[in-house]
Amino acid sequence: MWGRPGSSKPGSLEMTQTATLLESASMHLYQNYRQPGFVLERGEGSWVYDTEGRKYLDLCSGIATCTLGHCHPRLAQAIAEQAARLMHVSNYFFNEPNLKLAQKLTQVTGYDRALFCNSGTEAIEASLKLARRYFSAQGNAERFRVIAFKNSFHGRTMGSLAVTGQEGYREGFGPITGATHVPYGDIDAVTRALGPDVAAIIVESIQGEGGVLPAPEGFLSALRRLCDKNGVLLIADEVQTGIGRTGSWLSFEQFGVRADVTALAKGLGGGFPIGAMLCDEKFANVLPPGSHGTTFGGNALASRAALTVLEVLDEENILPQVVTKGQHLTQKLNELVNRYPSQAEMARGAGLLQALLLREGVDIRRILESAQNSGLLLTIAGGRGLRFSPALTVSLAELDEGVRLLDSIFKANS
Ligand code: PLP
């Protein structure tokens, strides 16, 4: 799995620092990821550096997470300052950064209340639990089923996995029930799947892990109408699309749709782990003390990081820039499609969450590895999508450089 230099012996003097680290990884790390054979050591903006001093243009930013780029001075300073002051006290007590974060996050998103956790999957768990308990508190405990979409991704805990619409993620984990999956974009199928036992519909505005596939026009508002008509809650999974990724605080804003519950994580902490579930006052008492929680949720350090991310995005007016940078990226990716039609099929996505969909049969892993070898970091989404999810602070020149590197790879392949 990990690249290893042939002649070096474990622990021997001739081993480089990198080789020693990779050897250690092969011996001690649980091997459930597929990392390439280099070790990243530091980062700055859209660039990261490995232990051999090689430089990479990072256009994945920790899977749509390092919102302000790597080691943004204000974020790094805020985290260091907070670490020296107060990191964690648990939810037995208030902490100041968390209260400020709750205020700022609800202000920019327009929701009334925020419940904090540590990841996207946890934000989804909280949303699903809120939906079920909302109905059971009204004596409707039989209303628990969730309608979700094929090709969706909502996380890997049992609850979030139950709504994830890709078999591969569920394989081997036994029966995971409670959800019905229907084709993404098919409002008739959603209507048919509704019933008196349905508590919620969960949806992404763009299926990120599913290949950066945007919802068809009118789909989200049709879902909203259907939920209203049937008294079902609409849960927006904005883990990948939220916090400015598509040019607005929440991507749903751009469709004029407001979900009852919104799940956030990834970009919220700018690289520091934090998640949040947002909802309105109507749901404020659904999860009373003791019903749900997590030790680290809303800790002072993560909250200070997220607060700083929101402040920087706001003060530096970064969201409108995401739209123009996104348009630029779309244009550049479309040019690649025109130049290499036998390898690239189309560009899709919004803002700074886009994918270049490669043709069936093109070895996407080889392209990804060639990109890494030429100093460009991307990720694969949905099997055929080369995903671009750079820092929202990425420059046009950096986007151009990424596309140029990819162009050379396609050229060499033709
Ligand atoms: N929901 C969506 C849309 C995601 O893209 C992800 C992660 O990729 C998750 C949920 C799960 O988030 P996490 O990996 O932070 O648990």
Give yes or no: residues 190 and 262 share one domain: yes
Give yes or no: residues 186 and 115 share one domain: yes
Domain that holds residue 274: 73-315
> Using one digit for the tens of pLDDT, what is the confidence trace for 264-295?
999 999 999 999 999 999 999 999 999 999 99
At residue 171, what is the residue type?
Answer: E
Query: Minimal CA–CA distance to 225: which of 253, 257, 255, 193?
Result: 257
Cβ(131) – ligand 1 distance below 6 Å: no
Give yes or no: residues 131 and 119 share one domain: yes
342 CA from centroid of ligand 1 (Å): 32
53 CA from centroid of ligand 1 (Å): 31
Cβ(154) – ligand 1 distance below 6 Å: yes
For a mutational test of ligand 1's pocket, the pick from 154, 158, 241, 353, i.e. the residue with the most ligand atoms closer than 8 A to its C-beta, is: 154
For a mutational test of ligand 1's pocket, the pick from 146, 202, 240, 268, i.e. the residue with the most ligand atoms closer than 8 A to its C-beta, is: 240
Q: Distance of alpha carbon 197 from its chain centroid, rounded?
A: 30
65: CB partners within 8 A, 6+ apart: 266, 267, 269, 270, 271
Q: What is the CATH number of the domain that holds 208?
A: 3.40.640.10
| Whole-number pLDDT of residue 159 | 97
Q: Among 295, 315, 335, where does a domain finish?
A: 315
The verdict on residue 21 lying in a domain is no
Give yes or no: residues 339 and 287 share one domain: no
Give yes or no: residues 276 and 373 share one domain: no
> Using one digit for the tens of pLDDT, what is the confidence trace for 306-363?
999 999 999 999 999 999 999 999 999 999 999 999 999 999 999 999 999 999 999 9
Give yes or no: residues 382 and 277 share one domain: no
Residue 366: burial class (beta carbons within 10 Å; 0-12, 13-18, 19+): exposed
| Whole-number pLDDT of residue 16 | 87
Domains in the chain: how many in total?
2
Give yes or no: residues 127 and 213 share one domain: yes
The verdict on residue 126 lying in a domain is yes
Residues with a known catalytic role: 153, 237, 266
Q: Distance of alpha carbon 213 from its chain centroid, rounded?
A: 14
Beta strands (DSSP E) in 209-343 are 213-214, 233-237, 261-264, 275-279
Give yes or no: residues 166 and 248 share one domain: yes
Q: What is the CATH number of the domain that holds 358?
A: 3.90.1150.10
Can you tell me which atom of ligand 1 is nearest the CA of 122?
16
Q: Among 315, 330, 359, where does a domain finish?
A: 315
Q: Among 264, 284, 315, where does a domain finish?
A: 315
The verdict on residue 289 lying in a domain is yes
| Whole-number pLDDT of residue 25 | 95
Q: Which residues of the chain have pLDDT under 70?
A: 1-14
The verdict on residue 16 lying in a domain is no
Can you tell me which atom of ligand 1 is nearest the CA of 119?
15
Give yes or no: residues 281 and 398 share one domain: no
Residue 172: burial class (beta carbons within 10 Å; 0-12, 13-18, 19+): exposed
The verdict on residue 14 lying in a domain is no
Give yes or no: residues 264 and 340 share one domain: no
Give yes or no: residues 277 and 325 share one domain: no
Q: How far apart are CA 74 and CA 77, in angstroms?
A: 5
| Whole-number pLDDT of residue 14 | 65
Relative to beta strand 198-203, strand 233-237 is: parallel
| Whole-number pLDDT of residue 10 | 47
Give yes or no: residues 254 and 283 share one domain: yes
| Whole-number pLDDT of residue 13 | 53
The verdict on residue 232 lying in a domain is yes
388 CA from centroid of ligand 1 (Å): 16
The verdict on residue 303 lying in a domain is yes
Query: Minimal CA–CA distance to 154: which of 204, 213, 214?
Result: 204
155 CA from centroid of ligand 1 (Å): 5
The verdict on residue 342 lying in a domain is yes
Q: CA–CA distance from 258 to each of 225, 241, 345 (Å)?
A: 11, 14, 33
